[in-house]
Every structure is written in structure tokens, then in C-alpha cells.
Amino acid sequence: MVIQIDGAESINKGAQLMLVTVLQEIKERFPDATVVEYSKSPNEKLLRQYFGDNYRLARSKFMQKLITTFHVEKYANFIELKYWYRFTVFRARKGVDIVLNIGGFQFGDQWKHNHDNIRLWRRYLKKLKAYGTKTVFLPQAFGPFEKPGSREILKVLGTYADLLIARDEQSYRYLADGGIEPSRLALYPDFTNPVKGVETPQSQQHRGQVCIIPNNKMLKTGVMQEEAYVAAMAKVIKHISEKGFDSFLLNHAGSGDLKLCNKMAETQHIPVVKGLDAVQTKGVIASSYMVISSRFHGVANALSSGVPCLASSWSHKYQKLLEEFGQGDCLVDLTDMEGTLAKVDRMLDTKTNADTRNILKDKTQLLIEKNQEMWNFVWNQ
């Protein structure tokens, strides 16, 4: 069996954790499968760890070296979109049984779906279908689809994708209201819940502290300006210190998030944890007393590890994730500092923290069962 994984990433630890989850599932179900990874930043080390030499990179090593040597990703905005995408995710190949897309939130009004982007997705998915390859988009957020480009890309997905799995009810409604056939739709939670974090010196060093996870998407999407975001988090960190707790910042993604971590750290002189892989990152989160995260998988990692978490948001997907774990009132608005600090105080309280951990433990077990149900459904398609 040949299984291709699209949309993986190594810089964003949430995206990398999705890849780890899929690799673990394939290894358990189909240990002799050949795995093909198709992404902008191949995770060859992980592929070799799980499948030895029984893997392939869909993009040639020569092309990968060319792109890395000349920093093509860094200067991608200066390259014609159609050519950039041809180098990354838009070359269908024969002989693949199923494509699992783990690209996360990638379709909706928040993204620029222009003519070239839509045309290339259509060509790619159409060829996969012609080759007899099943295409499954594993649980991710979708929508809304109000803009013309968003509606057009939705038509492409509805025509050629075999299965679109929404990871929250709002995303499911966006897809259903957009005309996707019910037979091509499913609803299952984020699928990284079963993966356990691992112990590291960093997790031991910061055990029992408050973990702060910034996200530069808060700036890119216009939720907050950088100065206001840094200032708000500085107030939160100071307040936590005044309550007698130590805190640290965790870089959950790339250089943009690291820049924010460093700026926030300078305001209150707290450490920054960086340079970890996805499973190590989850281990650090799992050892924390509580988490305050603007990264979706920072929130998911905390909740699935039984760690109380407050989330600041730029998308509907955060609220829906919190609700799945029975934590619907744990979204914070960083422009409302009084309300934010009140929620921080509540989660710092020893009894509330312990009670929340018990709730999360039970919820996580139920969600892991749903994850298993999802995989059974996917493989039986």
C-alpha cells in the first residue's frame, strides 16, 4: 500500500505533531506500507524513524536542496504563485492508493484563493482522481466561504475530494452550507490527542510553571497590533508572578513567534524555551501548571495532556476546541485585561486547577475514542 501525506510541516510544532500522529497510525495499521511525504519542508528524519528506508519524498532531493540553498521559501512572495506551488504540492503521481492531507486550516476567507491557486488545486485533485487515488482531508478547520475565491475553491474540493473531515461543528456547517455532499463530509475532533509528550531537561526545569505560547497570527489577522499584544501579555505575566507563580515562554512555531517570545520575555525577564520538536514541545506543555496559548495546537496539547488552558483567538476553531473539552469559558480577550486576569486567577486557584484536570482527563479519553473511530472510518472508505 502506498500512502501519501500532504501538507506536513516541521517548523510549526502543531503541524509536525499531526505528521507524527499519522505516521504512528500508519505504522500500527500498515507496517509494510510505503509512505510518501509531499510538503514544503520534508520531515525525512521522522519518516526514517518510523519506516526505515520504506519511504519516499515526493519532491526530489535535488529540488529540495535547490529550494533550501537559494532560500526559495523565504522569497516565495517574489515568485509567481503558480511556479512556487508546482515546486511544492501540485504534482500528482500515479501509484498512490490514498492521499491524507494534514494541512490544517487552509481553506476559507482568511486565505487568498486567487485564480492560480484555485486552478492548481483543481488540476492536482482532478489528476489524483483520474489515477484512482482517494483524497482525504483529515480533521481541520474550514471556512467561512463568503468571498468569491473561497467559494470557488470550495467547489473544487466538493468536486474532487473523496472526504472532507471538519474538526468542529462550525466548520462542518460552513462546508454543508457551501454545497458539499453529505457523503463527502464527516465530523471528528483534532486527531493529535493520542500522542504523548516526552520528558526533556526543559520540561523538568519548568515543571509546575505557567507556559505562555504566543502566535504571530494574532498580528497578521489584525486581531491585535504587536505593541498591544506584547503589552497585554506582559501584564498577564506580571500578574502571574505577583500571584507567586513562575512562568516561561514557549516557541511553538517559527521565527515570527520566536520574535514575539523574545519581546515578551524582555518585558518581565522570563526564560524562552525553543528548539524542540513536536513531541518534546508537548512534553513541556504537559509538565506545566497551566497554559495560556494563542497557538491552536498549544491549546490542544495542553487540554489533551490534562493541563488547564486559557486561549486567545484569531479564528472560530479555538472556541470550538475549548468546548469539546468542556472549557467553553476559557477563551480570553486580551483587550479586556480585567476579564482576562479574572480567568487567570481562577485557573491558578489550586482547587479549580485540580478539578479542571479531572474534567480534561475524562474528556480526553472520550476524544481519543473518537479519534480511533475516525481512523476506522477513513481506512474503510
Q: How far apart are CA 43 and CA 372, in angstroms?
A: 24
Which pLDDT does position 58 carry in this prediction? 59
DSSP class of 331: B
> Nearest-5° angle of CA 161, CA 167, CA 172?
65
Whether residue 68 has pLDDT greater than 80: no
Q: What is the pLDDT of residues 100-149, one digit of tens each?
A: 999 989 999 988 898 888 988 999 999 999 999 999 999 999 999 999 99
- The residue-averaged pLDDT of 258-263 equals 96
Question: Which position has the higher pLDDT, 161 or 104?
Answer: 161
- CB 128, CB 36: distance < 8 Å: no
Task: Write the CB contacts of 15 (distance below 8 Å, at least 6 apart in sequence).
Answer: 7, 8, 9, 102, 104, 297
Q: Residues 79-92: what's their mean pLDDT?
A: 54
- Place 338 in a pLDDT band, splitting at 50, 70 and 90: very high
> What is the pLDDT, as a whole number, of residue 73?
54
Residue 81: the pLDDT is 47
List, for residues 221-255, the tens digit of each pLDDT value.
899 999 999 999 999 999 999 999 999 999 999 89
User: In whole numbers, what is the pLDDT of the chain averaged over residues?
Assistant: 90
Question: Letter for the amino acid at 152?
Answer: E
Overall average pLDDT of the 309-324 stretch: 94
For residue 145, the model assigns a pLDDT of: 97
User: Which of helix, strand or coil describes residue 31?
Assistant: coil
For the ranges 68-72, 93-97, 167-171, 299-303, which has the lowest average pLDDT? 68-72
Residue 360 pLDDT greater than 50, yes or no? yes
Instruction: Output the nine-digit C-alpha cell for 37.
Output: 511525504
**How many C-alpha atoms does 104 have within 13 Å on its Cβ side?**
19
Confidence at 80, pLDDT banded by 50, 70, 90: very low
Is the per-residue pLDDT at 178 higher than 70?
yes
Question: What's the CA dihedral at 202, 199, 285, 215 to 10 degrees?
Answer: 60
pTM of the model: 0.88
Give me the phi and psi of 2, to 5 degrees please.
-110, 120
Higher pLDDT, 92 or 270: 270
> Which of 44-48, 187-191, 211-215, 366-370 is least confident?
44-48
Mean pLDDT along residues 282-309: 98
pLDDT-based confidence at residue 289 (cuts at 50, 70, 90): very high
pLDDT of residue 254: 87
Distance CA 23, CA 10 (A): 14
330: closest CA among 346, 312, 310, 315? 310
The yes-or-no verdict on residue 41 having pLDDT over 90 is no
The segment with the largest mean pLDDT, out of 58-67, 109-118, 165-174, is 165-174
What pLDDT, on the 0 to 100 scale, is given for residue 11? Answer: 82
Confidence of residue 213 (pLDDT cuts 50, 70, 90): very high
H/E segment holding residue 359: helix 350-379
